[in-house]
A and B are shown apart, each in its own frame.
Chain A
Amino acid sequence: MGEKIVIRGNEATAVAAKLCRPNVIPAYPITPSTLFPEKMSEFVADGELDAEFVPVESEHSAMSAAIGASAAGARVCTATASQGLELMHEMLFIAAGMRLPIVMAIGNRALSAPINIWCDHADTIAARDTGWMQFYAENNQEGMDLMINAFRIAEDKRVLTPGMVGIDAFVLTHTFEPVDVPAQSEVDDFLPKYNPEHVYLDPARPITIGSFGTPQYYMEFKYSQELGIQASSPVIDEVFADFEKRFGRKYAKITPFMADDADVLILAMGSMNGTARNAVKRLREEGKKVGVLKLTVYRPFPEEELKKLAGNAKVLAVLDRDISHGYGGAVYADASGVFVNEEKKPMLLNFIIGLGGRDVVIDDFRNIYDKCMAAVEKGGPEQRVQWVNVDFDACKGGA
């Protein structure tokens, strides 16, 4: 049996990582993820974890060392955020391309400029196309559980794809919450020892990793990689089900709330889901048919699940804590793509919300609901993409 303790989100991901018994932790401090390397170095210093903590000189080197260590057969984890993830960007593709099942915790933080240390999802969204699986936690318990699940999914021989687990900056990284910590023996039973067969730097069996791929071979490499992350979809369901059986906590790629008969469905990632559910409860009391779809797994994108859950709604309001400048939110683009060839589909509206740590509050959801219903009445939205809670006057002539 495990124990219940009150910890910050960063600590939850660190304790989870420790329970997964990594061999190597190359890490570099960055707000708001710094507590992760602090805790990991502490676990090693205290002899609680038998591992090598490598205090590298940059995030680029953190991911580079992670790649070297994973390729040598070690279980590897690290953590970063924001600018750190962007500095790693080049190496993220390489970790995924080499099929190295590295797991990384992210304290989801806005990107410069202007510099801002607070929450949004711009950092991991910018890493969307790197080939990593992406999980987003709503609270610290989820942060812990998703880390443990991520190792098992990433290392599955059908998958062999790295994974990142996002916890929202400050809202989770620095907030104390009660968390159920599984016992070491329970995690050991859930997560078998990492035993790589595909890549392994071993003088007894020399192989060449990271070779030069000409046009004649490159697409086959990439398609094989795509098969890996596609294969993670059923594996995620399988692992989540096993996790629920063992630990009693249920996870899904998309978790619906009051969604069955909803006219308006709100699709959101991360910590704002708690606020969304509270808002929905109040709106329901007023007789408004609204529900929430919590998106936990963003890559691979749960296409079929979204079709099934949102196909009957009048409006799918996609909340993006990110902006792809010149188009709209990234989650919105993905969700729209899912429905593009469907006969029966909701109207899709995009709300850009909570960038750089701007609070997401209950009234925001009420406004979003009203805008969605107004669009239904008019037969279309005033604007496809709308920014929530912005002082538009302050931006006049701002170009």
Chain B
Amino acid sequence: MAYEAPNGELFAAGHRGCAGCGEMNAVRQVLNAAGPNSIVANATGCLEVSSTGYPESAWCIPWIHAAFENAASVASGVDAALKSMGKRDGVNVFAFAGDGGTFDIGFQALSGMLERRQKVIYVVFDNEAYMNTGIQRCSSTPYGASTTTSPPGSQSIGESQDKKPIAAIVAAHEPAYTATATIAYHADLKKKVKKACEMEGPCFLHIFAPCPTGWRHGSDTTVELSRLAVDTGIFLLWEMEGGDFNDLKVTKKPPSPRKPVEEYLKTQGRFKHIINNGEEIAKIQALVDEKCKRYGIE
């Protein structure tokens, strides 16, 4: 018997997330889709800091935070423990982490968990920089973005590398299920969470989570931006069962023709320094076009 949360909300109001935080919104959607028979192992980051200031907690499901780089390993231990004690059936074991805790410092633990085929649903809430420490670049940060460690200057355009294709790298581990999602398409997100909960092996959900503080956009535009990211092809929504990339399905196609990336970039202060630079905009458009082509999107 799982605990019955007040209002049925498993991630309670009253946490200290910023107004318009995409991550907090996504967490709420994930948990409400998964239901109360869930356990979360959380990496260090905004989510942990803002939801668990002792003696308060926003979590209405059992939740553990140990450190930054090891949510996948802690969740692996929970999975093994439940299995060994005969309590594994019907419980969703999640690892929640930000992009820093996944793309960078937690990558080894993630890869290990996937390879061992542990029954863990790993969810990365991707706001494209180390936001908790004050907006430093990460391997998730997109080309051109200004962060506090990729500042634009006379010798710098901002972030010099494009985003690491984390979901594709995970999919190459041949897990049970890999999917990407955004809070703007919540029916799609919910469906993917539910699907992951039914899978027998490791699952990975890459959720795009705008950060008004780090991206410098209005806190009322988080959902709109999430949609625009999909409509421009900046963030693609897809899913894949198993390890055959021929089975990759795009679940929400951008409109044809796609919206120009400029529409997305101009909404955010982190791209302010390139918004009037036609050459750089064209470069980003080309990167997005090339990626869309690989995913069979016009």
Task: Report which A residues bind B (CB closer than 8 A).
Answer: 23-24, 26, 50-52, 54-58, 60-61, 64-74, 76, 90-91, 94, 98, 200-214, 217
Contact = CB atoms under 8 A, between A and B. Distances in A.
Interface string B73-89: 11111111111110000
Given A202-B62, A214-B53, A64 B81 contact: no
A217 B55 contact: yes
Nearest to A202: B62
Contact of B78 (A71, A90, A98, A213): A71
Contacts of B116: 54-56
Given A55-B116, A212-B54, 14 more contacts: A26-B73, A57-B112, A60-B69, A68-B64, A68-B73, A70-B81, A72-B39, A72-B77, A201-B64, A203-B36, A207-B63, A208-B62, A209-B62, A217-B55
Nearest to A214: B53
B48 interface: yes
Given A58-B108, A204-B1, A65 B77 contact: yes
A52 B83 contact: yes
Nearest to A204: B1
Contacts of A66: 77
A69 B81 contact: yes
A24 B52 contact: no
Interface residues of B, dominant DSSP: mixed
A90 B74 CA distance: 14
Contacts of A207: 62-63
Contacts of B69: 60
A226 B83 CA distance: 33
Contacts of B62: 200-203, 205-209
B3 A69 contact: no
B32 interface: no
A203 B38 contact: yes
B3 A68 contact: no
A65 B63 contact: no
30 contacts: A52-B83, A56-B116, A58-B108, A60-B109, A64-B67, A64-B76, A65-B73, A65-B76, A66-B77, A67-B64, A68-B66, A68-B74, A68-B75, A68-B76, A68-B78, A68-B80, A68-B81, A69-B77, A73-B81, A74-B77, A74-B80, A201-B63, A203-B3, A206-B3, A206-B60, A208-B62, A210-B64, A211-B57, A212-B48, A217-B54
A73 B37 contact: no
B54 A211 contact: yes
Contacts of A98: 66
B75 A57 contact: no
A51 B86 CA distance: 11
Contacts of B81: 23-24, 52, 68-70, 72-74, 76
B48 to A, nearest CB: 7
B80 A24 contact: yes
Contacts of B80: 23-24, 26, 52, 54, 65, 68-69, 74
Nearest to B75: A68
Pairs of residues from A and B, 7 with the lowest C-beta to C-beta distance, nearest first: A68-B77, A57-B112, A65-B77, A64-B73, A72-B81, A211-B52, A69-B77
Contacts of A91: 66-67, 70
Contact of B84 (A24, A67, A209): A24
Contacts of B36: 203, 206
Query: Contact size class for B?
Result: 35 or more
B135 interface: no
B213 interface: no
Nearest to A97: B66
A69 to B, nearest CB: 4
Contacts of B38: 203
B173 to A, nearest CB: 12
Contacts of B61: 203, 206
Contacts of A202: 62
Nearest to B37: A203
Contact of B70 (A54, A61, A201, A211): A61
Contact of A74 (B63, B70, B85): B85
B63 to A, nearest CB: 5
A57 B109 contact: yes
A200 B77 CA distance: 13
A70 to B, nearest CB: 7
B91 interface: yes
B76 A26 contact: yes
B41 interface: yes
Nearest to A210: B65
A232 to B, nearest CB: 23
A68 B64 CA distance: 8
A121 to B, nearest CB: 26
Contact of A201 (B2, B78, B83, B115): B78
Nearest to B71: A64
Contacts of B67: 64, 90-91, 94
Given A65-B77, A203-B61, A57 B82 contact: no
A209 B80 CA distance: 18
Contact of B77 (A24, A205, A206): A24
Interface string B175-194: 00000000000000000000
B78 A52 contact: no
A219 to B, nearest CB: 12
Nearest to A24: B80
Nearest to B92: A203
A206 B39 CA distance: 9
B55 A205 contact: no
